[in-house]
Amino acid sequence: MRWLDAMRGIAALVVVFDHSSYTFMADFRGELMPQFNTSRYGIMVFFLVSGYIIPASLERRGCIRTFWIGRIFRVYPLWAVVVTVLLAANLAGIAEIPDSGQHSTAAVAVAHATMLQELLGTPNLLLILWTLSYEMSFYLLIVALFTVRLHRQSAAIAVILAALAAASVTAGVVLPPSALSGRIGTGPLIALASLAMAVAICCASARSSALRVFGGVLGGVQALVLVSCNGTVPLWEGLVILAAMFLGTAVHRAENGQSTWRCTTGAAVMVVACAVGSAYGHGDGDHFTRRGWITAFLLAVLTFAAGLASRRRRLPRMLTGLGTISYSVYMVHPVLLAVIDNTTGRRQQDNLALEAAFFTALLPLCILTHRYIEAPTQTWGRRLAQRVQPP
């Protein structure tokens, strides 16, 4: 699986460059983005990798309870530390957090605790947290499919989601950002979604097969509704994100003999065609913005395909090592940038030396957060999962 670490390493580097270029390379960024949306490229690579490995983790365990324990101990500890540091930096006056507007502090806190805040109509404390909402939605969906024994239909699900994205553009379906929150109110939606998510996870982790199915379906329906009706990205893009993750799952199934490469290749062609068609046909944004998104998506798929083709080759140790700490890189860099922006300000002219210095400072810090936060908490999660694993 070292090729997956290499993919994560590449994605992490590109995402960090995208965000840090606001501060150090704004002119270059302005020229590059219309042609190649680096943020979407890195994020799509991450989503394809997640799609490849996360459902396999659930199916290898064969237990939803241990799956959720593993995910919680993998994602939440570093997330909690990063958010705490950000809030402390905000109180110290060296970093700023988005204004919560009319939302109460409690509502924003609960929304973030679910990791669905992007889909619950609340501002993200850090911009990058929006992607974790789609990751969490994917977790809920694969658990739902596992409970109703449709988890092996990954290729078909990827095609259906991509086709729905294209159909929504063709039909001119354009929902305002956070449309559902606007209809029933952000507070009630957060309360309802938080309760539904807790019930879904608890029931899906129960011993009763009926409760497992109920919990799985509840979580899956919730994820689909929120992604479709309450995201801040366009409807078509939210569906394409899910389609990309299920395409990653389909590739894993083909590689392990659970599906045919012919079926998976056909699904990949359909997903790419629908994604590109959706982006090109989307009415909002200009031609260059669409071009930048399309280029990023195509290059992300090609990068993933290249990684898959090289899975049996020796890969650079530096790249796979970077993939190992990629979650730390992804979570820590925006906090460091927030402090820099609020203290020294953004550069008026491009400065490649400062860009390089930022990476030089960031990577050792991320090695430490991985070693002292990520690695120990993952070990604790594995130990707890072993204790509750059914015989």
Mention every residue, 6+ apart, whose C-beta is less than 8 A from residue 256: 56
Compute the half-sphere exposure of residue 231: CA atoms within 13 Å on the CB side of its CA.
25
Does residue 47 contact residue 351 with C-beta atoms inside 8 Å?
no
Does residue 281 contact residue 168 with C-beta atoms inside 8 Å?
no
- Rounded to a whole number of angstroms, the CA Rg of the chain reads 20
In a domain, 247, yes or no: yes
Cα separation, 301 vs 262, whole angstroms: 17
Each residue's pLDDT, cut to its tens digit, for the chain (391 residues) gives: 789 999 999 999 999 999 999 999 999 998 998 899 999 999 999 999 999 999 998 998 889 999 999 999 999 999 999 999 999 999 999 999 888 778 888 999 999 999 999 999 999 999 899 999 999 999 999 999 999 999 999 999 999 999 999 999 988 888 888 899 989 999 999 999 999 999 999 999 998 999 999 999 999 999 999 999 999 999 999 999 999 999 999 999 999 999 999 999 999 999 999 999 999 887 556 555 788 999 999 999 999 999 999 888 888 888 889 999 999 999 999 999 999 999 998 888 999 999 999 999 999 999 999 999 999 999 999 999 888 877 6
Does residue 95 contact residue 335 with C-beta atoms inside 8 Å?
yes
Does residue 55 contact residue 151 with C-beta atoms inside 8 Å?
yes
Cα separation, 148 vs 35, whole angstroms: 42
Cα separation, 242 vs 159, whole angstroms: 10
In a domain, 195, yes or no: yes
Torsion of CA 308, 318, 346, 132, to 10 degrees: 50
Cα separation, 335 vs 125, whole angstroms: 10
Residue 67 identity: F
Show the CA angle centred on residue 84, arms to residues 79 and 90, nearest 5°: 130
In a domain, 273, yes or no: yes
pLDDT of residue 10: 93
Angle between helices 235-255 and 261-281 (to 10 degrees): 170
Does residue 34 contact residue 292 with C-beta atoms inside 8 Å?
yes
In a domain, 132, yes or no: yes
- The single residue listed with the structure tokens 């259906």 is 160
Q: Which of 243, 250, 278 is CA-nearest to residue 158? A: 243
pLDDT of residue 288: 54
In a domain, 12, yes or no: no
Cα separation, 305 vs 114, whole angstroms: 32
- The single residue listed with the structure tokens 């939210």 is 238
In a domain, 391, yes or no: no
In a domain, 190, yes or no: yes
In a domain, 112, yes or no: yes
Cα separation, 205 vs 214, whole angstroms: 11
pLDDT of residue 366: 97
- Range of the structural domain that residue 132 is part of: 103-286
pLDDT of residue 102: 80
Total domains in the chain come to: 1
Q: Look up the pTM and report it.
A: 0.95
